[in-house]
């Protein structure tokens, strides 16, 4: 799970629009682990989300206010 969350955070460092895919990644993790039971599947999805939040918070703390400003002013690439 930490590797999945780390990959999500690295994707966000490259392109903030990749955040649109985070719910899909967590949903796929839940759906692929339903064989183990609903509680286990939900715990897996929650683990991905919480680990991602911890990694992202660490990056925001390490990057400081300039990094936060770049996050807030970023927009998806495309025609302007």
pLDDT digits (tens, 9 = 90+) for 24-62: 888 888 899 899 899 999 998 888 888 888 887 887 888
Q: Cβ distance 19 to 12 under 8 Å?
A: yes
Print the domain residue range for 19: 2-73
Q: Which residues of 61-72 are buried (b: 16+ CB within 10 A; e: fewer)?
A: eeeeeeeeeebe
Residue with more model confidence, 52 or 1: 52
User: Is residue 80 situated within a structural domain?
Assistant: no
In a domain, 78, yes or no: no
Pick the residue with more confidence: 42 or 20?
42
Q: Please tell me the predicted confidence (pLDDT) of residue 77.
A: 59
Domain count within the chain: 1
Alpha carbon distance 2, 48 (integer Å): 7
Q: Would 34 be classed as within a structural domain?
A: yes
Would you say residue 19 lies in a domain? yes
CA pair distance 8, 35, nearest whole angstrom: 24
- pLDDT at residue 78, as a whole number: 53
The pTM assigned to this predicted structure is: 0.66
């Amino acid at each position: 799970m930490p590797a999945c969350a780390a990959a999500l955070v690295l994707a966000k460092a490259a392109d903030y629009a990749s955040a649109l895919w985070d719910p899909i990644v967590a949903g796929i993790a839940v759906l692929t682990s339903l064989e183990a039971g609903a509680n286990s599947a939900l715990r897996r999805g929650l683990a991905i989300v919480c680990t991602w939040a911890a990694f992202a918070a660490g990056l925001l703390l390490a990057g400081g206010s300039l990094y936060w400003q770049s996050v807030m002013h970023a927009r998806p690439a495309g025609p302007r």
